[in-house]
Structure 1
């Protein structure tokens, strides 16, 4: 599953084959079919696992960071870590690029993932209005949409140029609005 997840994040759904995954792992393709009836079932399973990891990150961050600025900075750092020196992108972005090839269940999971991220970001910007740790907040829902578009787009630019520094450059203006409690 780890090999398949990495392949999706690097090549997208349409760029992944069960033959290649089996070769990369050093197993027979039939071994994959023992656990998953299709490529789509495997990709759905790895996306649900990835979603669970991100949802845990969001819950953990909200539970451990009382200031909106700290939460948002953690989110920007976490999403930036997914680009791995510009070689890959967030699995949700990779799958959305090939959305027409996906089964309905995976598309539904992508929508759930997107909505959960937006809800978390909206809550973060609402908190930022109260605690002042994020400057110049307008409508929290609009801020959440803009933030998600920014970090997703920044990942795509970094991936296109295979340069993770472009993610940092693209998110610099947003990061400059954040006051973190411990700037280290």
Structure 2
């Protein structure tokens, strides 16, 4: 699963093969087919696992960070970690690029994944209006959509140029809106 996820995050759905995953892991391709009947079944399982990981992350941040600014910073840092050194992107971004090649169920699961992120971000911006830890907030739902588009786009530009610092530059304005000494910023 990890090898397959890394391959998709680096090369997209259309850019990776089960042969290369089997070779990297040191198994026969037939061993993958023992567990997954197709490439699409493997992708569905990867997205389910990734969605669970991100949902757990969002719940953990909401439970441990009381300030909206600290929640938003945690989100920005988590999405940054997915680009590694600029050669990888979030699994959902990679799959969305090749969405026309995906089965309808996977496309629906991607839409649900994005809805979960948007709802969490909207709640974070709403809290930011209340606690003042994020400045210049407009409509929380619109802020959430813009934030997700920004971090996803920042990942794409960092991968396109194989330079993780471009993520930092793209998110700098968003990070500058976070108020307070507790906000952990990117040191780059």
When normalised by structure 1's length, the TM-score is: 0.98
Whole-angstrom distance in 2 between the partners of 1:181 and 1:18: 47
Question: 5+ residue gaps in structure 2?
Answer: none
Q: Are 2:138 and 1:138 aligned?
A: yes
What is aligned with 1:128? 128
What is aligned with 1:69? 69
CA apart distance, 1:47: 1.0
Whole-angstrom distance in 2 between the partners of 1:183 and 1:153: 23
Two-structure CA RMSD over aligned residues (Å): 0.8
Q: Are 2:175 and 1:163 aligned?
A: no
Whole-angstrom distance in 2 between the partners of 1:176 and 1:128: 14
What is aligned with 1:109? 109
What is aligned with 1:29? 29
The superposition leaves residues 128-176 of structure 1 with CA deviations (integer Å, 9 ceiling, x where unpaired) of 0000000000000000011001000000000000000000000000000
Whole-angstrom distance in 2 between the partners of 1:179 and 1:31: 51
Query: Structure 1 residues 40 and 180, CA, compared in 2 at 3 Å: closer, same or farther?
Result: farther
The superposition leaves residues 2-57 of structure 1 with CA deviations (integer Å, 9 ceiling, x where unpaired) of 00000000000001111111111110000001100000000110111011000000
What is aligned with 1:173? 173
8 Å Cα contact 2:79/2:151 also seen in 1: yes
When normalised by structure 2's length, the TM-score is: 0.96
The 5-angstrom pairing of residues 6-17 of structure 1 reads 6-17=6-17
8 Å Cα contact 1:70/1:181 also seen in 2: no
CA apart distance, 1:180: 3.9
Q: After the TM superposition, which parts of structure 1 deviate over 4 Å for at least 4 consecutive aligned residues?
A: none
Q: Are 2:88 and 1:88 aligned?
A: yes
8 Å Cα contact 2:73/2:183 also seen in 1: no
Question: 5+ residue gaps in structure 1?
Answer: none
8 Å Cα contact 1:85/1:164 also seen in 2: yes
The superposition leaves residues 47-106 of structure 1 with CA deviations (integer Å, 9 ceiling, x where unpaired) of 110110000000000011110000000000000000001010000000000001001111
Number of positions where the alignment pairs a residue of Structure 1 with one of Structure 2: 184
